[in-house]
Amino acid sequence: MQTVAIFVGAYRELSARKIFWLALAISLLVVGLFACLGINETGISFLGWTFESPMFSTNTTSPETFDKLLFVNLGVDWWLGVLSTLLALVTTCGIIPDLVAPGSIDLLLAKPITRTRLFLTKYCTGLLFAALQVFVFSTASFFVIGLRGGAWEWALFAAVPIVTFFYSLLFSMCAFIGVLTRSSVASLILTLLAWTIIFTINISESIVNSGRIANQMEATKIESELANTDDPVDEDKLEELTGDLEKTLANRPTWDRAHFWFFGVKTFLPKTTDTLKLLDRWLLDGASMPSRNEESERGPQQAFGPKRVKRGEFQRAVKADEQSHSIWWVLGTSLVFEGIVLGLATVIFVRRDY
């Protein structure tokens, strides 16, 4: 009864805020944009206009696949993963500071409900916004993709728990800062700062890891070439390969050490980027979507990467390494972080006098 009342109260609170409706409207607008976008024989179509594209046309991609790519790349990664999350944080950053505000907290603590339950229920109501947002977006996308492409992809709804979990990682920090400072503005700014730091560390680890893999692949490739060299008189080539191998092997400890530290730090932090990448794993597999890396297989060699290894091969190796971390490692370590942050916030909330 009390939990339902708190959730109903949270819904009323959210619905009283204009930004709540604005965010939902933008969500539907983004899906509406999907509905207007399509592909034909020559390129991408938008409300009757056609923009010629060699990459996207019915000759290279099916309309159904195109819709799914839009959902994953634009809808999930950008809208849900960044912009919608920002709006959600702006909307919900005041939930905990409002809870602990004088005059408001008195009314709730005087009721027969434990402080721990009150705080954690309020925390969960903060996730309501993100969950509603993703649910509306996924439902609308489900119908757009289904009606246009004829594929009713239930796997799209995997976005609801994944994005809500991703949001919960950020909101746990927001709640912690909120209970500590009792300020909505401080909660928002410091959470965004923490998100930026976590994102930077995640990206840095990813780059360093790519460098480490590139180094290993390069060395393996050179060693293989050295082993297979049939022309012993080609001194220049032999010298070049030996020199490259020495240089590559000399760099290895630096890459390994850098990766060790970045990975170590990342292990203790919430995996915001990796959590969203779970959508790629689940949605692409579940909905039979093509990987975004398929196109890059045919593209030119990256400036960053092993010189002697094909780009596609390198990217597959990087992706395989990323996916070598199980879903449970991504979720588990993030959950531990969230648990610690939320636990600290709860202890502060429970022990404080108001």
Which residues of this chain interact with another protein, rule CB under 8 A? 1-2, 4-6, 8-9, 12-13, 16, 101-114, 351, 353-354
Order of strands across the sheet that contains 43-46? 37-39, 43-46, 49-52
Distance in Å, CB of 188 to another protein, minimum: 20
Distance in Å, CB of 190 to another protein, minimum: 24
DSSP 46: E
* Between 9 and 343, CB nearer to another protein: 9
Cα-trace Rg, the chain:
25
Q: How far is the C-alpha of 139 from the C-alpha of 43, rounded, in Å?
A: 27
Q: How far is the C-alpha of 289 from the C-alpha of 326, rounded, in Å?
A: 21
Q: What angle do CA 344, 124, 329 make, to 5 degrees?
A: 65
Q: How far is the C-alpha of 246 from the C-alpha of 248, rounded, in Å?
A: 5
3-state secondary structure of 291: coil
* Between 91 and 172, CB nearer to another protein: 91
* Between 132 and 213, CB nearer to another protein: 132
* Between 106 and 285, CB nearer to another protein: 106
Distance in Å, CB of 103 to another protein, minimum: 3
From residue 242, alpha-carbon distances to 33, 124, 223, 226, 227 in Å are 55, 59, 9, 8, 11
Distance in Å, CB of 95 to another protein, minimum: 12
Q: How far is the C-alpha of 47 from the C-alpha of 56, rounded, in Å?
A: 16
* Between 115 and 311, CB nearer to another protein: 115
Distance in Å, CB of 134 to another protein, minimum: 24
Q: Which amino acid, 196? A: T
Buried b (16+ CB within 10 A) or exposed e, 259-281: beebeeebeebbbbbbbbbbbbb
| HSE toward the beta carbon, residue 38, CA cutoff 13 A | 13
Beta carbons of 274 and 331 less than 8 angstroms apart: no
Distance in Å, CB of 318 to another protein, minimum: 49
Distance in Å, CB of 1 to another protein, minimum: 6
Q: What angle do CA 104, 106, 108 make, to 5 degrees?
A: 80
Q: Which amino acid, 66? A: F
Distance in Å, CB of 35 to another protein, minimum: 33
- The sign of the CA dihedral 116, 121, 127, 131 is positive
* Between 298 and 351, CB nearer to another protein: 351
* Between 9 and 264, CB nearer to another protein: 9
Distance in Å, CB of 98 to another protein, minimum: 8
**Residue in the block written with tokens 């819904």:** 11
* Between 13 and 218, CB nearer to another protein: 13
Beta carbons of 27 and 140 less than 8 angstroms apart: yes
